[in-house]
Amino acid sequence: MGCSGRKALSFLLIFVPMYLHGASLQEVHPTGQRKPFFERLRRLEEQFRRFQEVTLTHLQSIANNYNVSYNIDARFQSLAEENQAIALAVNRSRAAFQGDVAHLKTWMRKTRRRSRKVDLRLQALDLALTERSRQQARAGKEQKETVSGLALDTRALQDALTRLIQQVHGQDTRLAALEGQIQMTTSGTAALGLTPAPTPTQPARPGPSSQQPPRNRPTPQHRNPPRDFPTHLQEMHKLSAPSSHWAPDGAATALRDPPQPGRSSQGPAEICNVGQVMVFPNASTENVIFLSPGFLSALRALTFCSWVQAPSDHLGTLLSYATEENDNKLVLHGRDSLVPGSVHFVIGDPAFRELPLQPLLDGRWHHLCVIWTSVQGRYWLYVDRGLVATGSHFREGYEIPPGGSLVLGQEQDSVGGGFDGAEAFVGSLSGLAIWDRALAPGEVANLATGKELPTGAILTLANAVSVGGFVQRTHCTCLEHCP
């Protein structure tokens, strides 16, 4: 209801009763001519009074309803504002939840990938341990057979020596008896005054000397053989054996102490002109070098060589090559959880070989070469020109596919990322190069002495397109002068 309507209604409620009250006063006039009119007016007044009561009742109900509607509008407005605030909060919560879900999915994907990688490595390690146990069992069986055969041969030799000693004793007894008979015969002849006939080797000589009785020959003393004759033979065999030592597998260990880098047989030498030096100061996951282009064609052979300086307790990751199919197509890495100086040489995860590189953890410069070929799965590990490890049947007939991501210093859990500080390399690299063929030992020796770089290198440190984190580039004339 508007403001003008309320004013008109209040005017009626005030002035109409006053008019009716004046009309009722005229009803008591002594003249009774207008009595029917006043009677009618009185009835109208009563009707109007009832109408006024009804109207007031309706107006009160309308006012109440208006107050209620006004409160309801205010309530609705507050509810709308609250609903809008709740909607904004829900939207923000939904956005945060979606972000958390995306992060959780990424983490689960990485965790699933790492768990799969760990499972595959554990399976490969289990297979390797099983094969090693079988080999050790076969070696133990062969050793037992060899020991039993040697025991039988030793027993037979001892029996033969015993029979030989008995025969010697018998011959000595016979010789002693024969000499006794000869002495008795000689004594009898001298008693009769006869001269024994000359032997063919001693012709008779005339003269007084022939009349002298023959001298008694001394009884020959028997020399008994040594009591422990087999031990004596073994000692003589040890004395006559060559002084060179042999490894259990039959390979001579003449190169047990490999030559130091940059040192030849004539004397010390410096390694110079090897190019720039890349320094990885700490184990940050941001310290990484990307090489581009990667492998442009499939590799059936590979040679990785570099000068390495590692003043850490573990080597970390030198090289990591990942594709969309597999994160570890080619990896040379060591974790801090592995045996110190031990690294995994991975080709097509989960296949790997464990290589010993303990000599590299002394903080000095060393030359490292890892060579692999798919022909018979042969591989070689050279440290400072010395052959440290070799083997076969490792990824025989396998091809390393092209088109992947190649990095230095980090192990990739995904293509181009997903690094782990426990696998980061800490140290310095220089003269790094990769070939798509197996280098000859002479070429490895030339590299280790700083003579020349073999032709055909497909990647070097000159292919570093991105150097991240705290990795530093330095140029040293000779490695011995680098900090």
Measured CA to CA, the distance from residue 269 to residue 101 in angstroms comes to: 60
Give how far the C-alpha of residue 204 lies from the chain's centroid of Cα atoms, to the nearest Å.
Answer: 98
Contact 439, 305 (CB under 8 A): yes
* Tens of pLDDT, residues 343-391: 899 998 888 999 988 888 888 999 999 999 999 999 999 999 999 999 9
Farthest-apart Cα atoms in the chain, separation: 233
Identity of residue 224: N
Query: How far, in Å, are 8, 16, 44 from residue 49 at the CA level?
Result: 17, 10, 8
Measured CA to CA, the distance from residue 481 to residue 430 in angstroms comes to: 13
How many CB atoms are closer than 10 A to CB 41?
A: 18
Contact 346, 391 (CB under 8 A): no
95 burial class (0-12, 13-18, 19+ CB within 10 angstroms)? exposed
pLDDT at 244: 32
β-bridge partners, 386: 383
Measured CA to CA, the distance from residue 62 to residue 56 in angstroms comes to: 10
* Tens of pLDDT, residues 216-260: 444 444 444 444 444 444 444 343 333 333 333 333 333 333 344
Cα first-last separation, the chain: 95
Q: Which of 81-85, 108-112, 265-269, 438-442 is predicted with the least confidence, judged by mean pLDDT?
A: 265-269
Residue 340 DSSP one-character state: T
pLDDT band for 457, please (50, 70, 90 cuts).
very high
pLDDT of 134 > 80? The answer is: yes
DSSP letters, 430-445, are EEEEEESSPPPHHHHH
β-bridge partners, 464: 291
In the structure encoding, which two tokens stand for residue 425, read together? Answer: 């390399």
The residue with tokens 């597998």 is 249
Measured CA to CA, the distance from residue 430 to residue 355 in angstroms comes to: 21
Tell me whether strands 378-383 and 472-475 are parallel, antiparallel or unpaired: unpaired
pTM, two decimals, is 0.50
Residue 107 DSSP one-character state: H
Measured CA to CA, the distance from residue 19 to residue 411 in angstroms comes to: 107
More confident residue, 144 or 212: 144
* Tens of pLDDT, residues 161-204: 777 777 776 776 777 777 667 766 665 544 444 444 444 444 44
Q: What is the dihedral of CA 117, 122, 124, 128, to 10 degrees?
A: 160
